[in-house]
């Protein structure tokens, strides 16, 4: 099984990148998780959507070929970061590679609400993109107070890791349905 991760932070030591890397490392036997690089994408421009840059073509191809997508988002000002919205806008146009694609969402933030508001906005956007979303009930990966839950580039909080393993199990089943 091939899954791609779209991470909404470009920061070198991003907790959200570390969260994606943790999911990747813990599931190597079950699926290949490729973490896509959003920093290479230009700003979405409708004038270019029918003849986009190689970086956009590659990005869209990888998403199209994937069996599922995991979106890992920080929260910026109660919503998702611009780089993630930009990536979703590219994916939403011309060949519309996200239609019907199984998607799971997750997020880490330093504050108490752990990306709750960002993920609610993300779900609203994903509805417009016609993805197949894993139900939020019992499946919300909200890693709050991230500064206390990561060490040496990995998520270390045992309870959070166990919960994420369960959600990923359900996502793998959801993809196979
Ligand atoms: C521009 C900006 C806006 C932010 N807004 C929020 C916010 O609305 N809610 C929140 O919980 N954290 C907010 N934060 C703090 C982020 O949760 C924190 O910086 C987190 O580490 C970002 O994710 P990253 O580690 O993957 O880069 C904000 C940070 C930045 C840089």
Mutate to test the pocket of ligand 1, among 18, 21, 23, 74 (most ligand atoms within 8 A of CB): 74
β-bridge partners, 79: 76
User: Where residue 97 sits, what CATH number does that domain have?
Assistant: 3.40.50.360
- Total domains in the fold of the chain: 1
Question: What was the pLDDT predicted at 57?
Answer: 98
The residue contributing the CA closest to ligand 1 atom 3 is 76
Question: What was the pLDDT predicted at 119?
Answer: 98
**Cα–Cα distance measured from residue 74 to residue 19, given in angstroms and rounded to the nearest whole number:** 11
From ligand 1's centre to the CA of 171, what distance in Å? 26
The residue contributing the CA closest to ligand 1 atom 23 is 74
Mutate to test the pocket of ligand 1, among 6, 83, 109 (most ligand atoms within 8 A of CB): 109
**Cα–Cα distance measured from residue 23 to residue 12, given in angstroms and rounded to the nearest whole number:** 18
Enclosing domain of residue 28:
2-176
Structure tokens of 142? Answer: 């909200």
Question: What was the pLDDT predicted at 106?
Answer: 98
| Grouped pLDDT means (10 residues each) for the chain, 177 residues | 98 98 97 98 98 98 98 98 98 98 98 97 98 96 98 96 98 97
**Cα–Cα distance measured from residue 103 to residue 57, given in angstroms and rounded to the nearest whole number:** 20
Of 90, 103, 112, residue with least CA distance to 139: 103
The residue contributing the CA closest to ligand 1 atom 11 is 111
Question: What was the pLDDT predicted at 120?
Answer: 97
> Which residue, chain included where needed, has tokens 């993805």?
131
Residues in the chain: 177
Q: Does residue 43 have its Cβ closer than 6 Å to ligand 1?
A: no
Question: What was the pLDDT predicted at 39?
Answer: 98
Q: Does residue 75 have its Cβ closer than 6 Å to ligand 1?
A: yes
From ligand 1's centre to the CA of 110, what distance in Å? 7
């Amino acid at each position: 099984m091939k899954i791609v991760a779209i991470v909404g932070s470009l920061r070198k030591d991003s907790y959200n990148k570390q969260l994606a890397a943790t999911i990747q490392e813990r599931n190597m036997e079950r699926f290949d998780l490729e973490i896509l690089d959003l920093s290479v994408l230009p700003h979405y421009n409708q004038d270019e959507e029918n003849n986009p840059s190689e970086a956009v073509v590659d990005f869209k191809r990888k998403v199209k070929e994937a069996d599922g997508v995991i979106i890992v988002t920080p929260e910026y000002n109660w919503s998702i970061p611009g780089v993630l919205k930009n990536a979703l806008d590219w994916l939403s146009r011309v060949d519309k590679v996200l239609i019907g694609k199984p998607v799971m969402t997750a997020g880490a933030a330093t504050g108490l609400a752990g990306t709750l508001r960002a993920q609610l906005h993300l779900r609203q956007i994903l509805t417009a993109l016609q993805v197949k979303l894993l139900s939020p009930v019992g499946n919300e990966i909200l890693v709050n107070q991230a500064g206390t839950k990561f060490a040496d580039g990995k998520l270390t909080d045992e309870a959070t890791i166990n919960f994420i393993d369960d959600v990923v199990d359900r996502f793998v089943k959801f993809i196979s349905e």
